[in-house]
């Protein structure tokens, strides 16, 4: 293995249901009365690069407040330590996220992730969202690493299927949003960053992991 590609919401950051758990509660607290469906449509358009973030705020009836909103996100416990451990094991980190480039940049800088994660692939830049296979193909082209040398981590099973179809190894990171987005198959599941590091290590060095584990299972 050479690269671990992380999802952001629900993996690096605490909430996978970012609209239901972060965005919409924030908007309501700011006095937004736009119908939920309109909010969701504007959010999707923004994460596809069809609206700027200023356009999003205007669509929901508020003035622009990117930095204020981005303070609402929370880092998953153990994320920084996990990224450092994987780097010490010789693995690079990247991120593929359904998000806006402006919000993604603000949040990752806030938590000091830019110096730990080499490449960020954001749907508003790609103009396509997971689970569209085009997003994963863009990552493969940019990284210039064979799919078989990449571990892809996401909290939505439906987002893992295209990665596996392209030859990547996959790990499901359970979040508040996992059960709402099922897909065929049962990838290996982890529930914490500590478990994720152990799973990636088993993929990266299966013989060493087999000596350390009674089962020696490989989680793909």
Mean pLDDT lowest among 140-149, 171-180, 183-192: 183-192
Question: Residue 87: pLDDT above 80?
Answer: yes
110 Cβ neighbours under 8 A, 6+ residues apart:
70, 71, 73
pLDDT of residue 154: 96
**Quick one: DSSP state of residue 179?**
G
- Answer positive or negative: Cα dihedral of 184, 186, 80, 73: positive
Q: Has this prediction a pTM greater than 0.95?
A: no
**Quick one: DSSP state of residue 132?**
S
Distance (Å, rounded) from C-alpha 84 to C-alpha 6?
A: 14
Distance (Å, rounded) from C-alpha 28 to C-alpha 146?
A: 45
Distance (Å, rounded) from C-alpha 139 to C-alpha 136?
A: 5
Confidence band for 213, pLDDT divided at 50, 70 and 90: very low
pLDDT of residue 131: 97
Question: Residue 153: pLDDT above 70?
Answer: yes
pLDDT of residue 184: 66
Question: Residue 185: pLDDT above 70?
Answer: no
Question: Residue 207: pLDDT above 50?
Answer: no
Confidence band for 204, pLDDT divided at 50, 70 and 90: confident
**Quick one: DSSP state of residue 172?**
E
Cα–Cα distances in Å, from 55 out to 51, 61, 90, 127, 134? 5, 10, 41, 16, 25
Contact 6, 13 (CB under 8 A): no
214 Cβ neighbours under 8 A, 6+ residues apart:
none
For the chain, give the mean pLDDT: 92
Confidence band for 155, pLDDT divided at 50, 70 and 90: very high
Question: Residue 167: pLDDT above 80?
Answer: yes
pLDDT of residue 209: 41
Beta bridge partner(s), residue 94: 5, 119
Residue that wins the pLDDT comparison between 185 and 27: 27
Please report, in angstroms and rounded to a whole number, the separation of the first and last CA atoms in the chain.
13
Half-sphere exposure of 138 (CA within 13 A, CB side): 20
pLDDT tens, residue by residue, 14-33: 999 999 999 999 999 999 99
């Amino acid at each position: 293995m050479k690269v671990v590609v992380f999802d952001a919401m629900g993996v690096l950051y605490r909430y996978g249901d970012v609209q239901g758990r972060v965005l919409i509660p924030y908007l309501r607290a700011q006095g937004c009365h736009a119908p939920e469906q309109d909010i969701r449509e504007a959010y999707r358009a923004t994460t596809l690069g069809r609206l700027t973030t200023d356009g999003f705020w205007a669509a929901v009836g508020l003035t622009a407040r990117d930095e204020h909103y981005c303070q609402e996100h929370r880092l998953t416990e153990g994320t920084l330590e996990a990224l450092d451990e994987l780097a010490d094991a010789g693995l690079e980190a990247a991120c593929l996220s359904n998000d806006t480039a402006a919000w993604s940049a603000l949040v990752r800088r806030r938590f000091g992730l830019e110096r730990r994660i080499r490449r960020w692939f954001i749907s508003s830049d790609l103009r396509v969202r997971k689970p569209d296979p085009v997003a994963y193909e863009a990552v493969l082209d940019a990284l210039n690493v064979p799919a078989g040398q990449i571990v892809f981590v996401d909290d939505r099973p439906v987002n893992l299927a295209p990665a596996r179809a392209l030859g990547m190894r996959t790990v499901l990171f359970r979040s508040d949003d996992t059960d709402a987005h099922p897909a065929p198959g049962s990838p290996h599941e982890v529930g914490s960053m500590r478990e994720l590091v152990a799973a990636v290590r088993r993929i990266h060095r299966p013989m060493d992991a087999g000596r350390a584990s009674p089962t020696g299972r490989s989680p793909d």
